[in-house]
Structure 1
Amino acid sequence: MSKNILIVDDSPSIRQMVELTLKTASYAVTTAVDGQDALDQCKSKRFDFVLTDQNMPRMDGLTLIKNLRGMSAYGRTPIIVLTTEAGDDMKAKGKAAGATGWMVKPFDPAKLLAVVGKVLV
């Protein structure tokens, strides 16, 4: 059975690129336009992995992660931040919020698949 992955990004082109990359590897992919949209979807559907941007309208990635970590269903779900933010301060905030890992845009499709494969074991 394929794993359910949620992609959260306010950029339609990034969502499409990530979705295509993951679908090519036979993952079931759902997309959300921002953190609030993602949180709403996570309340009614279970995802095995969440890939989120940081800077988005309505709710940013770190706030989304904190909210998901507060839900029993998402306490151990791998959550990777995919963002243009590469500073150590931001990475530390991500780790404190409960992020599993951090990837910097632009992403390498092969590296993304390797990371997803590693955390979805």
Structure 2
Amino acid sequence: MAKRVLVVEDNELNLKLFCDLLRVHEFEAEGVRDAREAINRATLFAPDIIIMDIQMPHISGLELIEAIRRDVILRRIPVMAVTAYAGKGDEERIREAGADAYVAKPISLMKFIGVVRELADLADSRALV
């Protein structure tokens, strides 16, 4: 059964790229462009992995990760942060918010899929607990 991945990305081209790439690699992908809808969509879609941009309007990816970690149902889901802002201390701050993985834009397609596969394994191990 294909792993389900929710992609939260406000840039339409990036959202399409990530979802298409995931589907080519046999993941079931669903995208959401507005971070304000992400928690509701995650609850309905029940993803195994969440991938999100950090720099988004209305709600930052950091705030969204923190909200996911506070949610009793969603907190077990591995989160990958994808961001163009790869400055000093950013990865540490993103991981402190609760991200399990961090990939800087522009992404390497192979690295992106490699990290997604690692998170799929993490999702399996968390499901056993």
> Shorter-chain TM-score: which interval?
over 0.9
- C-alpha separation in 1, matches of 2:19 and 2:99: 20
Q: Secondary structure at the match of 1:87?
A: coil
Residue 27 (structure 1) aligns with? 27
- C-alpha separation in 2, matches of 1:45 and 1:16: 18
Residue 108 (structure 2) aligns with? 108
- C-alpha separation in 2, matches of 1:74 and 1:88: 29
Runs of 4+ with >6 A deviation = none
TM-score by length of 1: 0.94
Structure 2 gaps of 5+ residues are 122-129
Residue 45 (structure 1) aligns with? 45
TM-score by length of 2: 0.88
Alignment of 1:1-121 (within 5 A): 1-121=1-121
Identity among equivalent pairs (%): 25
CA contact (8 A) 1:7 1:18 kept: yes
Cα RMSD (Å) of the superposition? 1.1
- C-alpha separation in 2, matches of 1:87 and 1:77: 26
What is the number of residues matched between the two proteins? 121
* One-letter amino acid of the structure 1 residue matched with residue 114 of structure 2: A
Structure 1 gaps of 5+ residues are none
